């Protein structure tokens, strides 16, 4: 299957949210530190990837719990697209995490921890809270995704063979960024639950990302690169400060009238898809 066929697949539902089955393969020649040879950036994105397979399955379960009760036909179709996209995200990042393991990055250590943690939360959180947590995490992933699409320089230095995975994931996260939120508003609707769960999830997201990064470093044979850490903190919080730049979009979530679609990102997605097609075509021809 060529790049264009994968990026513009035949519709599987009656919405504009369509899953793309990419079947990425990761060349063994790709170096361990595939993000510009930098340990911090590589392990930070690896830590995020390690959470994706089980995290995406959690998102699907939280939305699927309400699927039969949704009356809006358009939202029902969008949920099908959301589930399809998230399922493929989990599969592709599982394959990527296996690649990380082959490079001596202990991805399974993190993914096993995430699985245990999500099982613990599933037993203790109500379906409403689980869906609110999904909405919060979907907002984080959409913010990061649209930053990648709007500022391709954020991933400057990444091995070109890795870029399609992150670019594809970014496009689809932007595409379905409203679905879990719309299901929540339709089936739950509580502002207090939504806002309070975002506050809790923010602490968890930041804290566990740092913890998973440390887990990866401690499980490797070259545990320390302090210069990389200092450069990485500047990359996140100084200049360009990609994490710091998310502040305005993050705060918007706490508005009572917030909705993810208030930021129209269609043009960004089209640009991202065009870039993805050109990149994959070039790589496949190489």
- In percent, the amount of the chain with pLDDT more than 70 equals 100
| Residue-level pLDDT at 1 | 60
Q: Residue 158 phi/psi, 5° resolution?
A: -65, 140
Over residues 89-146, the pLDDT tens digits come to 999 999 999 999 999 999 999 999 999 999 999 999 999 999 999 999 999 999 999 9
Residue 174 in this model has a pLDDT that exceeds 90: yes
Q: Residue 181 phi/psi, 5° resolution?
A: -65, -45
Question: Per-residue pLDDT averaged across 233-259, rounded?
Answer: 96
Please report which confidence band the pLDDT of residue 241 belongs to, taking 50, 70 and 90 as the band edges. very high
Over residues 51-88, the pLDDT tens digits come to 999 999 999 999 999 999 999 999 999 999 999 999 99
Contact between residue 115 and residue 230 where contact means Cβ atoms under 8 Å apart: no
Enumerate the β-bridge partners of residue 158: 35
Q: What DSSP letter does each residue of 227-252 carry, written as one string? A: HHHHHHHHHHHSSS-TTGGGHHHHHH
Q: What does pTM read for this prediction?
A: 0.96
Give CA–CA dist 138/173, Å, rounded.
Answer: 8
| Residue-level pLDDT at 62 | 98
Residues in the chain: 286
Query: Tokens 């990061």 appear where?
Result: 144
- Mean pLDDT of all residues belonging to the chain: 96
Please report which confidence band the pLDDT of residue 225 belongs to, taking 50, 70 and 90 as the band edges. confident
Question: Per-residue pLDDT averaged across 222-243, rounded?
Answer: 92
| Residue-level pLDDT at 10 | 86
Contact between residue 85 and residue 19 where contact means Cβ atoms under 8 Å apart: yes
Contact between residue 242 and residue 234 where contact means Cβ atoms under 8 Å apart: no
Over residues 136-145, the pLDDT tens digits come to 999 999 999 9
Helices (H), 154-265: 163-175, 179-187, 191-218, 226-237, 247-252
Q: Residue 35 phi/psi, 5° resolution?
A: -105, 85
Give CA–CA dist 199/183, Å, rounded.
Answer: 20
pLDDT, greater one: 8 or 124: 124
Distance set, CA 212 to CA 44, 74, 196, 226 (Å): 8, 38, 24, 17
Give CA–CA dist 41/31, Å, rounded.
Answer: 13
Question: Per-residue pLDDT averaged across 26-35, rounded?
Answer: 96
Report domain extents, the chain: 3-14+36-285
| Residue-level pLDDT at 182 | 98
Of 268, 284, 6, 13, nearest in space to 143 by CA: 268
Of 91, 50, 48, 84, nearest in space to 64 by CA: 84
- Helix %, strand %, coil % of the chain (to 5): 70, 0, 30
Residue 195 in this model has a pLDDT that exceeds 90: yes
Tokens of 194: 């939504």
| Residue-level pLDDT at 34 | 98
Please report which confidence band the pLDDT of residue 274 belongs to, taking 50, 70 and 90 as the band edges. very high
């Amino acid at each position: 299957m060529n790049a264009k066929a994968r990026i513009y697949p035949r519709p599987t539902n009656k919405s504009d949210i369509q899953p793309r089955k990419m079947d990425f393969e990761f060349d063994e020649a790709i170096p361990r530190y595939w993000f510009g040879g930098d340990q911090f950036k590589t392990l930070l994105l690896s830590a995020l990837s390690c959470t994706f397979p089980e995290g995406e399955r959690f998102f699907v379960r939280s939305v699927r719990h309400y699927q039969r009760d949704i009356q809006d036909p358009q939202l029902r179709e969008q949920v099908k697209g959301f589930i399809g996209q998230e399922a493929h995200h989990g599969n592709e990042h599982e394959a990527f995490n296996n690649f990380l393991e082959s490079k001596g990055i202990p991805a399974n250590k993190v993914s096993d921890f995430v699985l245990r943690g999500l099982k613990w939360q599933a037993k203790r959180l109500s379906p409403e809270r689980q869906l609110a947590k999904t909405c919060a995490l979907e907002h984080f992933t959409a913010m990061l995704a649209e930053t990648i699409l709007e500022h391709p320089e954020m991933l400057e230095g990444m091995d070109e063979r890795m870029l399609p995975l992150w670019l594809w994931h970014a496009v689809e996260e932007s595409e379905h960024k409203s679905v879990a939120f719309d299901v929540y508003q339709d089936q739950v609707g509580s502002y207090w639950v939504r806002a309070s769960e975002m506050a809790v999830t923010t602490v968890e997201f930041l804290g566990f990302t740092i913890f998973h990064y440390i887990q990866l470093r401690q499980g490797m044979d070259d545990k320390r690169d302090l210069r990389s850490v200092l450069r990485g903190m500047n990359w996140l919080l100084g200049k360009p400060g990609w994490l710091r730049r998310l502040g305005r979009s993050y705060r918007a979530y706490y508005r009572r009238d917030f909705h993810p679609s208030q930021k129209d990102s269609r043009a960004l997605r089209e640009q991202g898809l065009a870039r993805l097609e050109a990149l994959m075509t070039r790589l496949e021809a190489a």
